[in-house]
Amino acid sequence: MRFDKGNSLCSRWLAVIETMKNILLRHSTRIITGAILLILITSIYFSVGFIDSDNQEPRDPFYVALDQGALFWSTLTFILTLLILAFFKIEKYLICFLFVFGWIISALILYVSLSDLEPFYTDIAIYQNKKQENVIIQYFETGITGNPGNRLIKTNNINAGIRNYEEIYDAPVLDTLFLYEFDDHKTIPKVLIIKNDTFHLQKIHNR
C-alpha cells in the first residue's frame, strides 16, 4: 500500500516537472527576451544611477568598470552577437551586415571601458584628524590633451570600493600646488586646517 502511494506521489512530481518543462519550451523565446531586457535595464542603471557622481566615486576596478558602462556595452555586444547569428542563419545578409557594424562599435566601446580601470581621481596626499576623518588632495586630468587639475575632498570611508565624499571648494592649498610637475611633493603641506579642524599628513602617493 505504501509502495503504491510512493509511486503515485512520484508520478505526480514527474507530471509537474514535465508540465513545467513544456511551459518553459513553449515560452522560451519570451523568457530569453525578458531576461536580456532585464539585464540591459539593470546595466543602464549601473552605468547611470548606481553611483552618485556628486558625492560618490568608484575606487575599486569592479565599480570603475560599472561606472564606465562595461556591463551595458557587454550586454549590448552579446545581444548584437545573437542577432547577427540569427539573421545570418535565415540568410538576411544586409540586416546582418548592419548589425555587424553596430557590433564593431559596441565592442570597441566595451574595450575602451575596460582598458583603463584606474579611478578618474588619483589620491596624492592623505590627511587625518583626531576623529579618524580623512582629507585627500586628488589629481585629475581632463580633455584630450590631459589638462591637469586638483581638488580637495573629505571622506569617512577612504578604503571603500565606492567612496562617499564631500568636496571642499575654494581651499587656499589648491592654489599653491603644482601636482603636474615632476617634483610636486615639495608643494604639499604637512598640516591642513579645514573649518577650524586640523588634519595631519599621513601618506603621499606617487602618480
CA separation for the pair 87, 78 (Å, rounded): 15
Element (H, E) at 203: strand 197-204
Residue 182 has what pLDDT? 53
Q: SS in 3 state form for 68-109?
A: CCHHHHHHHHHHHHHHHHHHHHCCCHHHHHHHHHHHHHHHHH
Q: Output the tens digit of pLDDT for each of the chain's 207 residues.
A: 444 544 565 666 666 666 766 665 666 667 667 777 777 777 777 666 667 777 899 999 998 988 888 888 888 898 889 888 888 888 788 888 888 999 999 999 999 989 989 999 999 999 999 999 999 999 888 888 778 888 999 999 999 999 999 999 888 887 777 666 555 677 788 999 888 889 999 998 876
pLDDT the model gives residue 27: 62
First-to-last C-alpha distance (Å) of the chain: 79
In 3-state terms, what secondary structure has residue 186?
helix
Question: Would you state the pLDDT for residue 110?
Answer: 92
